[in-house]
């Protein structure tokens, strides 16, 4: 009797696995519209591993295309993947600002919204031997002589750039006097900061965490609504500046997907977010889960266009 139960259980497990495998995506091709090692790339590779861990994708491939806030990569994705149910492009607030600022012919209206995944809040850090030992010291010099503080971060109009602009406004510093140096990729700005060419670096914690944990960077403040676990630094609000700096990330599918294909792709992504690998990465990278799909995600992105256009205008970037 026990043997029969065991055989039935094994057969059921095998049939369930076969059912999952039968509906699995083929090789999922990701477009990470930024440099290798950057936030787009990290999101793509983490999600790709989770898709295979969840048995909803057989394998994954990755393309990187940097430039114009991600809109160059988006254009390549649109042109190369029409109707492909196994293609995903990582998107985020930086891409929205790139679209608002650059007004490209190809926008997010040309692809299929799948899911928002998480929000990643910025940190503001300096190299370990920097003269500024606290955020108050950094801001004191910034207010006295704005040009003396070189801020380093993502491309012009990025969340990093907008965040520094909002911080300047809160500190009473005109945007025209802010010395912000934009970089196309995370590796470039890290090298410039470690080399002493940048006073303070701002970016998502996940991109900078290994430098923080190794002691090469010291975090002076965080842009999250509450303190980040494991990061000994005040929030901007605690430091006297009532702002938050953060970048959401999500994924879009190719153009011209059928409703059934869109549902299958969405279900696969949701299954990936439930895996241990994904949840471990969320914790390690200090990501704040904020999963939404379907019409709710579409409306959120539309609202982001309006919000970010207004913010960019307020800080003088439009």
| Closest alpha carbon to 151 in 176, 182, 177 | 182
Per-residue pLDDT of the chain (318 residues; tens, 9 = 90+): 444 444 454 444 444 343 444 457 999 999 999 888 888 999 999 999 999 999 999 999 999 998 888 899 999 999 999 999 999 999 999 899 989 988 999 999 999 999 999 999 999 999 999 999 999 999 999 999 999 999 999 888 889 999 999 999 999 999 889 999 998 766 789 999 999 999 999 999 988 999 999 999 999 999 999 999 889 999 999 999 999 999 999 999 999 999 999 999 999 999 999 999 999 999 988 899 999 999 999 999 999 999 999 888 888 887
**Cβ-count burial 254-274 (b if 16+ within 10 Å, e if not):** bbebeeebbebbbebbbbbbe
Cα 19 to Cα 6: distance, rounded to the nearest angstrom: 20
Residues forming a β-bridge with 289: 118
What six digits make up the tokens of 56?
């909803």
H/E stretch holding 180 reads strand 179-182
Domains and CATH numbers, the chain: 2-120+247-314 (3.40.190.150), 121-222 (3.40.190.10)
């Amino acid at each position: 009797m026990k043997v029969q139960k065991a055989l039935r259980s094994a057969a059921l497990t095998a049939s369930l696995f076969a059912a999952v495998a039968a509906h699995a995506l083929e090789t999922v091709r990701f477009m990470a519209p930024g440099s290798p090692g950057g936030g787009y790339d990290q999101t793509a590779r983490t999600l790709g591993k989770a898709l295979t861990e969840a048995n909803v994708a057989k394998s994954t491939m990755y393309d990187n295309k940097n430039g114009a806030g991600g809109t160059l990569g988006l254009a390549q994705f649109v042109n190369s993947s029409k109707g492909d149910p196994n293609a995903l492009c990582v998107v985020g607030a930086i891409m929205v600002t790139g679209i608002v600022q650059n007004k490209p012919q190809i926008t997010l209206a040309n692809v299929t919204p799948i899911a928002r995944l998480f929000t990643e809040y910025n940190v503001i850090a300096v190299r370990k031997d920097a003269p500024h030992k606290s955020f108050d010291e950094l801001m004191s010099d910034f207010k006295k002589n704005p040009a003396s503080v070189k801020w380093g971060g993502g491309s012009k109009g990025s969340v990093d750039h907008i965040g520094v602009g909002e911080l300047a406004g809160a500190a009473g510093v005109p945007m025209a006097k802010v010395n912000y140096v934009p970089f196309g990729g995370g590796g470039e700005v890290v090298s410039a900061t470690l080399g002493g060419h940048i006073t303070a670096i701002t970016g998502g914690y996940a991109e900078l965490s290994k430098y923080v944990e190794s002691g090469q960077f010291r975090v002076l403040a965080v842009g999250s609504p509450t303190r980040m676990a494991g990061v000994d630094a005040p929030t901007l609000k605690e430091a006297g500046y009532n702002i938050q700096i953060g970048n959401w990330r999500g994924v879009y599918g190719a153009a011209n997907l059928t409703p059934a294909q869109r549902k299958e792709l969405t279900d696969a992504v949701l299954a990936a977010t439930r895996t241990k690998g994904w949840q471990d990465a969320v914790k390690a990278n200090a990501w704040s889960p904020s999963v939404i799909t379907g019409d709710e995600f579409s409306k959120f992105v539309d609202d982001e266009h309006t919000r970010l256009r207004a913010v960019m205008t307020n800080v003088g970037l439009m």
